[in-house]
Amino acid sequence: MSYQVLARKWRPRSFREMVGQTHVLKALINALDSQRLHHAYLFTGTRGVGKTTIARIIAKCLNCETGITSTPCGECSVCREIDEGRFVDLIEIDAASRTKVEDTRELLDNVQYAPSRGRFKVYLIDEVHMLSSHSFNALLKTLEEPPPYVKFILATTDPQKLPATILSRCLQFSLKNMTPERVVEHLSHVLGAENIPFEDDALWLLGRAADGSMRDAMSLTDQAIAFGEGKVLATDVRAMLGTLDHGQVYDVLTALIDGDARSLLEAVRHLAEQGPDWGGVLSEILNVLHRVAIAQALPEGVDNGHGDRERVLALAQALPAEDVQFYYQMGLIGRRDLPLAPEPRGGFEMVLLRMLAFRPADTENAPRQPLKSAGINPATVDSQATVAGAAPVASAPAYVPVAAASAPASSAAPEPAVAPTEEIDLPWNESKAAPPVSEPLSEPVAAPAAEEIPEPMLDTVAEQPELTPMPAPAPASPVPDAPEVESAEQLQAAADVVTPVMLEHVPDAAPYVPAPMERDDEPPPDDDYYEPDVDIDPASFAYLDDLAHETVETVEAVEKEPELLPAAAPATGLAADWLELFPKLPISGMTGSIAANCTLISVNGDNWLLHLDPAHSALFNSTQQRRLNDALNQYHERTINLSIELIKPEQETPAQAAARRRADRQRQAEAAIHGDPFIQQMMEQFGASIREDTIAPVDAPVTP
């Protein structure tokens, strides 16, 4: 007798033998016992979860010689014929191979005939979502009102493709995927009945590889039995599936917990001997970290789907919760960046070393960044960081307040500011207010000489506007230890001294040029902006206004798109050859725009001369000329010396030709609208009018 695979040999023959799907079986059993039978059933679910098996059991329950019952006898001729697949009144149809409407009509022509042997004629249509729309339409009426002796059972793995008219005519049952625990339990029963030795770890590997399908699990078990020479062992199954040893993942995590770089790299070396997919290894680590996080939040919520529940609980006790979250987030980012690494293994090692090098910010050994001294300008701070509690390096003078700058030059030189001895949260770190000195000054201090002031950044000037104090100053957030300003004259004198000195150092800095913005786009709103309560004198920023004015003019000159004017003469000779050559060149963007506004003037061997309209020369430079020259070399497969002169072309350019063709198509479209008899009749009888701005040619614009 030939060998029968486990998936067919152990196919359930009654509802009692079914594994899982309790929510579906309960409804069917109650309906059969109470004789409340529907004429159409729809079973949905992934492959190998029991859709066809349940349909055959229903056919057996309906046609068993003992009567309609939820427990067929399995011994009568009808039950045996259904089990053997030769019952004449059970018509199984593969909709994937019979999708045409002619096949459906042929099927429905036989519905009117009574069953030959059984009590009901059962139509089992598998993969019903593969039917065509015409087939569904032909099936609708019969599916809604079939003869009393006909039952339809539909099965599909993709119910979203079924029309709503089909779904509304059926009782729909959604079958769930098989959990690894249920698969392992069933495989243990099957292998025990077959007297085949096995290991529990091997069954867990098969249960996870089945991915929710019991039929896949049985097929993989058949393969594992053949691979292991009659035994199902974990090492054989792991070699057969090419999966990672789950214990090695725990070796990596243990090395991370211990902070042992040697053990970590040794674990990676053992992994590399198997030639794994490093992205898959990182995914396994993330899965374990996810289950560890669940164990820390709810220990009883950890499943045993991998057969390692005890190890997960042990890791949850040994690994701090913040480290779990940190490792998980870093692993996600590393998995995303892994394809960018020069070598997959090197990228995987860098992810682990990054986990090893950093710690969450609130842990005991977390690296902390010391605050810089308040008297040091952030733009000119020395690369050597100041250690908390030590004397700072005097690399820049202390900040001089505005009131102090109003003193005469003959005053005594200011004393150096004293740096704080411990790290504190300074109040001006989150605002643009001027930082106070460490101690209030009892008398005005003269401003230092120009050569002693560090070169400030350009935005520092914007942070030092000339302010006119209000009659009753009441700042919302006063800065502690800041000197008070006695009068408006003192403030004006301070601005006159500080502003020119600071502006003397600015001309060497490059002006800020804003990126060009599309005309239709609105600038993003600045939610953090608020209107100040004081007036700003624009005379103090005359230099900055001049720079901004020049910048805006430059940007507007670049953004302005000149209008295309018609050519003086149509293209002939070399100009016509350029019109044919332009669409074939591998160029786009600014280079394509420049080439579209050129025309070919002369060709002397490999020396080519183009004329470019000066109105379109804003984007032209040596780089664009080189790219156009490279495109010509690539197309002609030889070296061409290209020259471009800024002279208005006398003949038509590709851009002008494209504009002319668009204008011709627009005129033709308008003429067709105005000349249409139906539109003229609408205008005469109903007073209709034509909106000229809505007329557009139907065909797409042709590339010049």
Contacts of residue 35, defined as CB under 8 A and 6 or more positions apart, other chains included, come to 68
Taking only the tens place, the pLDDT of each residue in 235-281 is 888 888 877 777 788 888 888 888 888 988 998 988 888 778 888 88
Summarize the confidence of residues 626-646 as an average pLDDT: 88
Summarize the confidence of residues 344-357 as an average pLDDT: 90
Summarize the confidence of residues 665-680 as an average pLDDT: 87
Taking only the tens place, the pLDDT of each residue in 432-447 is 444 444 444 444 444 4
Taking only the tens place, the pLDDT of each residue in 60-71 is 999 998 889 899
Lowest-confidence segment of 344-358, 527-541, 582-596, 641-655 by average pLDDT: 527-541
> Between helices 278-297 and 321-337, what is the axis angle to 10°?
160
Say whether pLDDT at 145 is over 50.
yes
Q: Residue 173 carries which DSSP code?
A: E
Q: Which of 244, 243, 242, 197 is nearest to 221 (CA)?
A: 197
Residues 398/437, Cβ–Cβ less than 8 Å? yes
pLDDT value for 575: 84
Lowest-confidence segment of 25-34, 39-48, 412-421, 556-565 by average pLDDT: 412-421
CA dist., res. 678 & res. 691, Å (int): 16
Share of the chain above pLDDT 90, in %: 18
3-state SS assignment for residue 59: helix
Average pLDDT, the chain: 74
Say whether pLDDT at 496 is over 70.
no
Taking only the tens place, the pLDDT of each residue in 39-57 is 999 999 989 999 999 999 9
Lowest-confidence segment of 50-54, 297-301, 449-453 by average pLDDT: 449-453
Residue in the structure block whose two tokens are 């008219």: 165
> pTM for this structure?
0.47
Say whether pLDDT at 325 is over 50.
yes
Summarize the confidence of residues 171-180 as an average pLDDT: 90
pLDDT value for 305: 63
CA dist., res. 491 & res. 406, Å (int): 8
Residue 485: pLDDT band (50, 70, 90) is very low
Summarize the confidence of residues 315-321 as an average pLDDT: 88
Tell me the CA distances in angstroms from 105 to 42, 125, 299, 508, one per residue in order: 20, 14, 58, 86
Say whether pLDDT at 167 is over 80.
yes
pLDDT value for 214: 92
Residue 173: pLDDT band (50, 70, 90) is very high
Summarize the confidence of residues 482-508 as an average pLDDT: 45
Say whether pLDDT at 661 is over 60.
yes
pLDDT value for 368: 41
Q: φ, ψ for residue 684 (rounded to 5)?
A: -75, -45
CA dist., res. 577 & res. 571, Å (int): 9
